[in-house]
Structure 1
Amino acid sequence: MSRIVRIVAFGFGLLGGVLASQGPEFSQQYRQRLGGAIDELNKVLQRFDADAQVNGETQATAIARLRGNPDNLVSRQGVAMQANTERLTRLQAHRQTMLEAGPFMRVALMVRDGDVDVMEAAYRDFEPAVPVTEEGILAAAAGFIALWGGFLLLAGFLRSLRRPRAPTLRA
């Protein structure tokens, strides 16, 4: 195999390694965003709960009171606060599931069950990096092998198409 093909294959392998390592890196940045979203929703709900308590209400009764108010603005605030409560519960459960999952499962869980808003925010601010975690190194190695080996297989196949075929003997 020519030296140029091996050099190009190595370059493709490096590119594959860098690209594949971005999955675990994006997952890590997503988890940071997820934690920030949970922290912020906790603060909002803590303020709401404190205001409800001062007025002799629980969170549930305060939300019901807002939702039942004839003033459209107030009623919509009750709907929004109910949505915040439900979203916080979902995000906390998702975060716990990700914490309990193994390294490669976190990427799969993010893709399968991830919060779209958090994922979009992580994507907008995503900064590529090559993670040095076990997960990042194995993903990079798999990407390297896939593109390096794929390129070598393709080059070998194309070379076999160009080789002259031996004449067949007739009896």
Structure 2
Amino acid sequence: MSRIVRIVAFGCGLCGGIIASQGPEYAQQYRQRLGGAIDELRQVITRFDADAQASGESRESAIVRLRSNTDDFVSRQGAAMQANVERLRNLETHRETMMQAGPFARVALMARDGDRDVMEAVYRDFEPALPVTEEGVLSTAIGFVAVWGGLLLLIGFVRSLWRRPRQPVRASI
């Protein structure tokens, strides 16, 4: 194989490694933003609970009272608060599951069960980085080997097609 092909394959392998390393980095930034969303929802719900308690209501009874109000705006506020409570519960469960999972499982959990709003926010603000965690280094190595090795195999296969011996044409007499 020519030297140029090896150099190009190596360069592509490096690019593949860098790209593969972004999965764990994206998952790490996702977990940070997930924590921020949970903290903010907790504050909103804590304020709501305090207002409900000051009015002699529990959270549940205050939500029911708002949702059953004939004023459409007030009723929508009750539905919104119920959605906030449910979302907080879901986000907390998701974060707990991610924290208990192993490094590579976190990326899979995020991709499979991730909160769409949080994932979109991470994507908008994503800053690529080269993680130096075990997960990041292994992802980089896997990406490098997959692209570099795959490219060398593909080039070798294509070359073998061109190198096939041609059958001599026999002249008929």
Short-chain TM bin: over 0.9
Q: Is 1:4 aligned to residue 8 of structure 2? A: no
State whether structure 2 residue 32 is matched by structure 1 residue 32: yes
Kindly indicate whether residue 125 of structure 2 is the aligned counterpart of residue 125 of structure 1.
Answer: yes
Q: Which residue of 1 aligns with 2:59?
A: 59
Aligned residue pair count: 169
Q: Report what 2:16 is aligned to.
A: 16
Task: Give the superposition deviation at 1:162.
Answer: 1.6
Measure, in 2, the Cα distance between the counterparts of 1:164 and 1:107.
44
Shift of 1:167: 4.3
- Which blocks of at least 5 consecutive residues in structure 2 are unaligned? none
Match for residue 105 of structure 1? 105
Runs of 4+ off more than 3 Å: none
Task: Tell me the amino acid that sits aligned with residue 101 of structure 1.
Answer: A
Q: Does 1:83 align with 2:69?
A: no
In structure 2, how many angstroms separate the alpha carbons of the residues matched to 1:122 and 1:163? 49
Cα drift, residue 166 of structure 1: 5.9
The answer for unaligned runs of 5 or more in structure 1 is none
User: Which one is further off, 115-124 or 155-164?
Assistant: 155-164
CA distance in 2, matches of 1:166, 1:54: 91
Task: Give the distance between the partners of 1:111 and 1:157, measured in 2 at CA.
Answer: 34
SS of the aligned residue for 1:52 comes to helix
CA distance in 2, matches of 1:88, 1:122: 18
Q: CA deviation at 1:151?
A: 0.8
Bigger Cα displacement from structure 2, 97-106 vs 157-166: 157-166
TM-score (norm 2): 0.95
Deviations 1:14-69 (A, max 9, x none): 00000001111100011011000000000000000000000111100000010011
Cα deviation for residue 163 of structure 1 reads: 1.2
Q: TM-score, normalised by structure 1?
A: 0.96
Inter-partner Cα distance in structure 1 for 2:167 and 2:54 = 96
How far 1:137 moved relative to its partner?
A: 0.6
Give the C-alpha shift of residue 154 in structure 1. 1.1
Instruction: Please tell me the residue identity of whatever aligns with 2:75.
Output: S
User: Aligned partners of 1:90, 1:158: CA distance in 2, in Å?
Assistant: 51
